[in-house]
Amino acid sequence: MVKSITAGEFKDTVLASERPVLVDFWAEWCGPCRMVAPVVEQIADELADRLEVVKVNVDDESTVAAEYNILSIPTLMVFKNGEVVETIVGFQAKPDLMAKIEKHL
């Protein structure tokens, strides 16, 4: 299961991670977010040995969303060594997401 994190956990969980991290910025009311959630769960399971995966609720953690200019959701960001290396906006099929994520692993 993908863990939801708070703004307070973001630095240690995402920015200080030794492994790449996929962050799913989402909201409860967002239909496309609910569509991509099972895909993100599958990716988390399949790449568990190489990738951390977390979720940030943009309504609850608006400071993090603002810091990374999250204007549309779902937005998936891949962080590597504390830096954003890939941004994916909107729903995308699993093969497309995997291709964009795996190139950073």
- Which of 83, 36, 16 is CA-nearest to residue 2? 36
Predicted confidence (pLDDT) per residue in 9-25, tens digit: 999 999 999 999 999 99
Domain that holds residue 14: 3-102
SS3 readout for 11-46:
HHHHHCCCCCEEEEEECCCCHHHHHHHHHHHHHHHH
Q: Identify the CA nearest to 75 among candidates 41, 21, 32, 45.
A: 32
Respond yes or no: is residue 89 known to be catalytic: no
- Please write the tens of the pLDDT for every residue from 56-75: 999 999 999 999 999 999 99
* CATH number of the domain enclosing 76: 3.40.30.10
d(CA 92, CA 101): 12
31 is catalytic: no
Per the prediction, the chain carries an average pLDDT of: 97
pLDDT tens-digit readout, 25-36: 999 999 999 999
Catalytic hit among 23, 33, 39, 54: 33
| Set 14, 30, 47, 56: catalytic member | 30
pLDDT tens readout for residues 86-98? 999 999 999 999 9
**Total count of domains within the chain:** 1
